[in-house]
Structure 1
């Protein structure tokens, strides 16, 4: 019986890869459950010397992709690197952290492999350890990128305990400071988490029209929005009154298109920080860096197709159970939740959908 179940799982994964183009719509978000006993499962086995232990990693060098004869709608510059202020660029921001480095590398690799013009994608890597820059250069020799140091002390005193210790790491909050970290000539950026892959051209997401709004993201209005805040929040009009005149819906902050000009002009970093300070004294939410974004932006978000964030593939915050695809097209697969594909693959207990992540993995002899 066991061998039959394993065979069935492998068959399901194969069928998914065959029909991936018309894949799915996103799952509703997993309900937050307080837990810490599985946090060790989220961490790669690194030395305490963090970045100095990168020799423990064995990543293969990424292939050089030249996916089209022309870039940027007729721009034929196929050699050399674009300057950060080049108007033809697609700007992507991702955090680099030793513990999630394998996921970040796979995400970058998936973007390059599925972009019509990978040369025109510029990566902005947010780090708390600048020695990771040498690692990026050796793994992606042709990559257009810049590394930005994010000081953990910026948010150390603003972070409250969360449902998982992993969600309390300062680098999770670096997205709040993109407008100040990136050059002023960068007017828009796509922010992506480290536990996802793209299976479509990222320029399609880049061309999203944000209209009057500062950020764009797939919204999930069927989700129980009240679950993201505590009873104390909903019992005090000083708190829940912030949603007056809005129709707030859940959105996942792991995939966002951000208008940095509007962000800077609106002072949104300070607005998010205000809610984080209030949280320290009033405990109005449980889920890390997400609720402040909901408090500031929910109901004022440019809607993006669900295909751009098939989230929840990592299961809930305790068990990390397997999830199935939902019907509909997909362009991005996101292993949010406690189960990460690289850890499940290494443990020889993968979920069927983890087979979609593994072709982009550059770690060791994988892939």
Structure 2
């Protein structure tokens, strides 16, 4: 039996396999052919030397763990599992911690640094610190937003690193630091100026995970109400109270970057920052987060420091910097918050530190989530929907987005309104969809309406129990399912869905608007008129729709010869609707029709019975209907301001009448998923 030898390539050293390594390398020299004692002594010396080598390596491994614990990777006696990916799997996304009750898992973070090329030394130091000195499992990537036409004068090896991404901008805007949310694959993002460094990223992320809806700030600022509006002040002037942070460093959930860039309600603020280039994009972000979450920011201490090696290059060095910040505060509130201050003072008066964080920070476990009275998909809470002025044009749609083609019809209608609007700033759209369809609809409309910026759009899922009307359809045919849809009856509950709106224009989704909608909105239902609604009168009489032999109809003394109207284009005074309890009257007629036949169709006859002849007449060009079952005369079509595809065939069908009019406002590429769904049904 010769000495047992294992190749060096198969040796494995670690705390759990030390004994096995020693046994595998031990020589049994006394079993060799030559029984020389010298050989036995030499073999024993070799075995002792190998044991010493193995134990030395074990000590080094243990020392490395102790050193890591000293740097904060350990929490007491518990090891923190840093969520990460293997180095060889660079193309994969980071693994998220999931929902853990304790702090044993830390999410990775993406660092976004914006620079215009004036502080190269500071930028190089920041990038090198996070790329070379931070654990890749903690700092996942570093994104450099380069607001300069010149090349980036940084080390080529760092720029080529898989942990570095560079975004070269063609337009120098402070909004650019927020625009690259699509390329961020972590739940949290650390936003930095090129003169600031946050050294203790681990502590900052752990606090952020305890309160993910808040923004974590490192340099606090506040607002103060004065006679001239709001002032931008240092918290020292308010006994430490703060309500926002500077743009130097902010840690926040990446979802806020997405919503800040995609919320239609912030288009005017983003355009203001791009156009005027004031140093206040951070104020706009903090306003939005506080307004949406209902939570103020949190000032934390995580080894942050300013790098002011190049003097006189910062925006805060400008003498007018404070005045610009004050102007931004008041401008933003006037633009999109209707004079209402969205900021809140934090409940803390000093930075939150590590010792407070390790004992649980019970005050941070705030389960308060802003409750929407209506479900707003684009991030703006319902308190944001305030009546700004009488000049605001409120337009509503009810869209059954689960029905074939309805979403494309809605998109074309919105595009036609925006295409002809002289002042899109006045437009405020309210779209009501089914529960669970909000995200699908918002993604499609965001694509379809990308050509316009300055308008408001709210997508809402009304409570299913709200439309509690007894629906009875006695009209046989293909239209029965469409007439039975609860979305036809949403128009009867607008006074509840829009409690702060007094005047609204309701449109069916199967319309195309060919004139400025403001001409219709401003000319009718002025405050001194008594009518509750305005509509285009038809040549059809009431007797065509209603059974006048019914006792309740006879008792109501309704004239069978009065004109009717189409309810697909309705201008409504919601304050008078509420005062007259019109929804209760509609419910009465629907209940009677459920018991015995009073009418055949769906939502229009009960409205006709409730309103009668008390509606204001609108010029017929604002509702040229019937395009869904007949060809409209050329002269009528030429003068039409709204074309309405009432009938079986809608404008999106290729064989429909006047499909070319509807096709002009279609954006087919935004509805590829819907088209695939329709093909599967066919």
Q: Give your verdict on TM over 0.5.
A: yes
**In 2, Cα distance between the equivalents of 1:166 and 1:189?**
24
Contact conserved, 1:251 with 1:298, CA < 8 A, in 2? no
1:197-276 aligned at under 5 Å gives the runs: 197-210=512-525, 211-220=529-538, 222-229=539-546, 233-244=547-558, 248-276=562-590
1:147 Cα offset (Å): 2.3
Q: TM (normalized to structure 2)?
A: 0.38
Q: Give the structure 1 partner of residue 494 of structure 2.
A: 178
Which has the higher relative contact order, 1 or 2, with Cα contacts under 8 A spaced 6 or more apart? 1
Contact residue 94 and residue 126 of structure 1 kept, 8 A: yes
Q: Distance in 1 between matches of 2:610 and 2:411?
A: 31
Q: TM-score with structure 1 length normalisation?
A: 0.69
Deviations 1:219-260 (A, max 9, x none): 12x31431212xxx3113431342447963110000010001
Question: Is 1:144 aligned to 2:456, yes or no?
Answer: yes
1:101-112 aligned at under 5 Å gives the runs: 101-112=407-418
Instruction: Mark the runs of 5 or more structure 2 residues left unpaired by the alignment.
Output: 1-263, 269-331, 339-384, 672-682
Partners of 2:438 and 2:461 within 8 A in 1: no
Quote the Cα distance in structure 2 between the aligned partners of 1:267 and 1:337.
30
CA shift for structure 1 position 192: 0.2
The residue aligned with 1:192 is 507
Over alpha carbons, which structure has the higher Rg?
2
CA offset digits 1:126-169 (Å, max 9, x no partner):
12235325323444353412223223443355111243221100
1:160 maps to 2:472:
yes
User: Cα–Cα, structure 1 residues 334 and 256, in superposed 2: closer, same or farther, change >3 Å?
Assistant: same
Describe how 1:342-353 pairs up with structure 2 within 5 A.
342-343=652-653, 345=654, 349-351=655-657, 353=658
Helix, strand or coil: the match of 1:356?
A: helix
Which one of the candidate residues 617, 620, 624 is aligned to 1:310?
A: 624
Superposition deviation, residue 280 in structure 1: 0.6
Retained in 1: the 8 A contact 2:541–2:560? Answer: no
1:26-175 to structure 2, matched below 5 A, reads: 81=336, 84=385, 85-87=387-389, 88-98=391-401, 99=403, 100-133=406-439, 134-135=442-443, 136-140=445-449, 142=453, 143-155=455-467, 158-163=470-475, 164-175=480-491
Contact 1:189/1:258, CA 8 A, preserved across alignment: yes
Distance 1:183 1:238, change over 3 A: closer
Pick the aligned partner of 1:333 from 636, 643, 646: 643
What's the offset of the Cα at 1:216? 0.3
Contact 1:95/1:171 (8 A) holds in 2: yes
Contact 1:197 1:334 in 2 (8 A): yes
Partner of 1:56: none
SS of residue in 2 equivalent to 1:167: helix
Structure 1 unmatched ranges of 5 or more: 1-61, 67-76, 316-320
What are the equivalent positions in structure 2 for 1:16-35 lying under 5 Å apart?
none
Per-residue CA distance 1:188-231 (angstroms, 9 max, x = gap):
000000000111000011013322100000112x31431212xx
- Which position in structure 1 is the counterpart of 2:666? 361
Tell me the secondary structure at the aligned position of residue 489 of structure 2: helix
Q: Classify 1:162/1:92 alpha carbon distance in 2 versus 1 (closer, same or farther; 3 Å).
A: farther
Larger strand percent: 2
Looking at structure 2, the residues matched to 251 and 290 of structure 1 have their Cα atoms a distance apart, in angstroms, of 9
Aligned to 2:74: none
CA contact (8 A) 2:543 2:560 kept: no
Q: Is the 8 A contact 1:152 1:171 kept in 2?
A: no
CA positional deviation for 1:96: 2.4
CA distance in 2, matches of 1:326, 1:127: 36
- The CA distance in 2 between the partners of 1:333 and 1:303, in whole Å, is 18
Name the residue aligned to 1:72.
Answer: none
